[in-house]
């Protein structure tokens, strides 16, 4: 059968060109969205009197039959028919005859494919929002169980100050909260309908684009037909949000890899999220967080790829824009799979509370509290900072920690020290002293947890 657009051509398409330009290998994932858009379009055509309602019902029945076949896996897509639109239109013609050709009245593949992607991305974004919530819930589960668990806090990957493990986990909760809010906000741009813009200039038929938008649940229609068919901002925005989210996924994955190492032993990942070695039987490898960390690069690449495709394109549609789909589809799949793995992996990990505490008890991360102690005695902070630096150096030289020094040794650096300095230096006191809003004290962390729970419910 000749191409549906082949009337103007005198030669068959070169086989290599056919394979190179075909998109059906990946845009078949938009099949159900393509049918959904066509259902609304033909309904609008009938209501506007552009085609008879009898034809509308016949076309809708045909589309429904094709939809069921696709869902049941009974459809074989063809490279010769190029893309998902032509594949479905050909199936429709075979199903109901020439009347199927009326479906394409008042539209082009340009506004059709844009509509498909809007529909697809809207559905996927809503699902991703729920998956982000599941990750947040897993973080909350662990946070609630570790409100009293003290661990070293780090800067530059060096011991800095003691913090609660719950506080550390909640930092990721808020990262994912912003990701979730970005996804929710992006729905405003996704919910613009391009259908009815035609190839680039609109159509001569008296269509009702607002009615189509209503049928498909879109909030508004593109007011400019050129913009409607050439806009891929909504995909760029999604890829950008996905890249930021994968950054957060990668960061917590990195910590899980470090924390589960023999050197740290802060946590142990459940066996179901680890693998072994083919040669070293003792190994338990954190393959899942490593791969989550690694997959971040491909999502970044998809964003840069589409930015590069679009940067020099004149209006309106160009074949270059066929390159918009694979990166989007791949990113959706990657992000979806990553979130589905991350949530249960966090929730099922074992936290070694004693190991975390022993790490805090054998470092100098309580040094700042000595400086704060001297400040409460009236000493300027900068002078206190210098004194504590000397005390830390003295302790290191004598192979002691700050709690190991005697009161006489402290007084040799400043007469302001009293016996209560040893209470101030206890890890639990260090943590509880940081009771400012957003701080790591158990009171503040419990308030954070309550706020976090309201965030999950509110969305």
366-384 pLDDT per residue, tens: 999 999 999 999 999 999 9
Q: Is the pLDDT of residue 432 over 50?
A: yes
Are 243 and 295 contacting, i.e. CB atoms less than 8 angstroms apart? no
Q: Between these two residues, 413 and 459, which has the higher pLDDT value?
A: 413
What is the structure's pLDDT at 279? 87
CA distance 425 to 410: 12
- For 39, residues 6+ apart whose C-beta sits below 8 A from its C-beta are 60, 63, 215
Pairing type for strands 158-164 and 150-155 reads antiparallel
Average pLDDT over residues 156-184: 97
- Residue ranges, comma separated, of all CATH 1.20.200.10 domains in the chain are 110-357
- What is the reported pTM? 0.92
pLDDT of residue 18: 62
Question: Which of 102, 123, 329, 314 is closest to 229 using CA atoms?
Answer: 314
Q: Nearest 5°: phi and psi at 438? A: 85, 0
Name the segment(s) of the chain with CATH classification 1.10.40.30. Answer: 359-451
- Indicate the CATH number for domain 359-451: 1.10.40.30
Q: What is the pLDDT of residue 6?
A: 61
Q: What is the pLDDT of residue 276?
A: 84
Higher-confidence residue of 78 and 22: namely 78
Please give the share of the chain, as a percent, with pLDDT higher than 90.
Answer: 85
pLDDT in tens, 60-105: 999 999 999 999 999 999 888 888 999 999 999 999 999 999 999 9
Catalytic residue numbers read: 156, 277
The predicted pLDDT at position 283 comes to 85
The pLDDT tens digits of the residues spanning 275-323 come to 887 888 888 999 999 999 999 999 999 999 999 999 999 998 888 888 8
Return the CATH number of the domain spanning residue range 110-357.
Answer: 1.20.200.10
Q: Would strands 192-193 and 150-155 be described as parallel, antiparallel, or unpaired?
A: unpaired
Domain 15-105 CATH class label: mainly alpha
| pLDDT value for 1 | 45
Task: Specify the domain boundaries for CATH 1.10.275.10 within the chain.
Answer: 15-105
Q: How far apart are CA 193 and CA 121, in angstroms?
A: 12
> Which among 125, 121, 126, 116 is positioned nearest to 194, based on CA atoms?
116
Q: Which two tokens stand for residue 165?
A: 């493990």
């Amino acid at each position: 059968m000749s191409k549906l657009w082949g009337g103007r051509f005198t030669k068959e398409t070169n086989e290599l060109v056919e394979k190179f330009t075909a998109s059906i290998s990946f845009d078949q994932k938009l099949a159900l969205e393509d049918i959904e858009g066509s259902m609304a379009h033909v309904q609008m055509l009938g209501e506007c009197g552009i085609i008879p309602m009898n034809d509308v019902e016949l076309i809708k029945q045909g589309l429904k039959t094709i939809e069921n076949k696709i869902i049941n896996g009974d459809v074989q897509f063809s490279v010769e028919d190029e893309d998902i639109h032509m594949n479905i239109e050909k199936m429709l013609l075979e199903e109901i005859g020439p009347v199927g050709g009326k479906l394409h009245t008042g539209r082009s593949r340009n506004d059709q494919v844009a509509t498909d992607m809007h529909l697809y991305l809207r559905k996927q974004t809503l699902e991703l929002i729920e998956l982000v919530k599941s990750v947040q819930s897993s973080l909350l589960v662990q946070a609630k169980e570790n409100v009293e668990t003290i661990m070293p806090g780090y800067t530059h990957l060096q011991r800095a100050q003691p913090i609660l493990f719950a506080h550390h986990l909640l930092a990721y909760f808020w990262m994912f909260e912003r990701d979730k809010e970005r996804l929710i906000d992006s729905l405003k741009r996704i919910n613009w309908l391009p259908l009815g813009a035609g190839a680039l200039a609109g159509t001569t038929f008296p269509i009702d684009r607002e009615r189509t938008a209503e049928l498909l649940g879109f909030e508004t229609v593109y007011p400019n037909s050129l913009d409607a068919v050439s806009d891929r901002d909504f995909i760029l925005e999604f890829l950008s949000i996905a890249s930021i989210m994968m950054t957060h996924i990668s960061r917590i994955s990195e910590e899980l890899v470090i924390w589960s190492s023999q050197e740290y032993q802060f946590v142990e990942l459940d066996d179901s999220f680890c693998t072994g070695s083919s040669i070293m039987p003792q190994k338990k490898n954190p393959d899942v967080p490593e791969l989550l960390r690694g997959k971040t690069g491909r999502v970044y690449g998809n964003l840069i790829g589409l930015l590069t495709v679009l940067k020099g394109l004149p209006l309106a549609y160009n074949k270059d824009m066929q390159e918009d789909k694979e990166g989007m589809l791949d990113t959706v799949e990657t992000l979806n799979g990553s979130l589905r793995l991350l949530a249960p992996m966090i929730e099922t990990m074992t936290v070694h509370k004693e190991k975390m505490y022993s790490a805090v008890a054998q470092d100098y991360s309580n040094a700042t509290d000595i400086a704060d102690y001297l400040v409460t005695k009236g000493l300027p902070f900068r002078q206190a900072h210098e004194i504590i630096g000397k005390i830390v150096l003295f302790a290191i030289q004598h192979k002691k920690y700050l709690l190991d020094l005697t009161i006489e040794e402290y007084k040799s650096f400043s007469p302001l020290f009293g016996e209560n300095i040893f209470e101030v230096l206890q890890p639990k006191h260090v943590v509880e002293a940081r009771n400012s809003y957003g701080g790591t004290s158990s009171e503040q962390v419990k308030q954070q947890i309550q706020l976090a729970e309201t965030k999950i419910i509110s969305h």
